[in-house]
Amino acid sequence: MFLLAHAGLTLGFAKGLEKVLQCRGRKEYTESIDYRLVFVGSMLPDMIDKPLGGLILGDTLGNGRIYGHTLLFLLFLLIPGLYLWVKQKRSGLSVVAGGSMIHCFLDGMWHYPETFLWPGYGWSFPKGEPGDWLRLWVSLLAEPRYYIPELFGGAILILFLTKLVIHKKLSGFIISGKVKR
């Protein structure tokens, strides 16, 4: 998956969850969602792993799915995030954790247990093609199975931004991260 699928589908999931919680009378859980953090969480595993595994450790590891794509990383975000949400009514870290979980789901990390369950299978990560990770990543653009999620994610993002612009709420969203009614 790429940017549009990760960001758009995660946004769509978060908005859907918000609607379900509101319908069930749980509006207090949705009022504090900062959608800027939804976007950060949706890309956080790649923001960590692509530079680290693909560039910094590219000659030896050549793998863009390492620490940020592990269950341990998700738990590292989720446990303190839930604590802050329950004890201090601060949802920011749990929103980032949720976005990162959706990212790992969209990447199908269950197909890569050596990475997802790290360090359960040992301390090293699977090696990619050192120095060749960028060519491999760009070649995925030629695979049709990636088009559908990208198109859906892009459509969700366009609809979201269009609604903000039409209702003149884009600047408020940029400042607060909230989607006000």
| Residue 50 DSSP one-character state | I
This prediction's pTM: 0.89
Contact between 156 and 6 under an 8 Å Cβ cutoff? The reply is no
Domain boundary assignment for the chain: 3-176
Tokens of 170: 């884009």
Q: What is the pLDDT of residues 43-80, one digit of tens each?
A: 999 999 989 987 888 778 888 899 999 999 999 999 99
Please state whether 122 falls in left (phi above 0), alpha (psi between -120 and 50) or beta.
left
Q: Which residues of the chain have pLDDT under 50?
A: none
CA–CA gap between residue 47 and residue 58 (Å, rounded): 15
Helices marked H in the chain: 3-23, 35-49, 71-88, 92-106, 113-116, 133-139, 147-166, 170-176
CA–CA gap between residue 121 and residue 72 (Å, rounded): 13
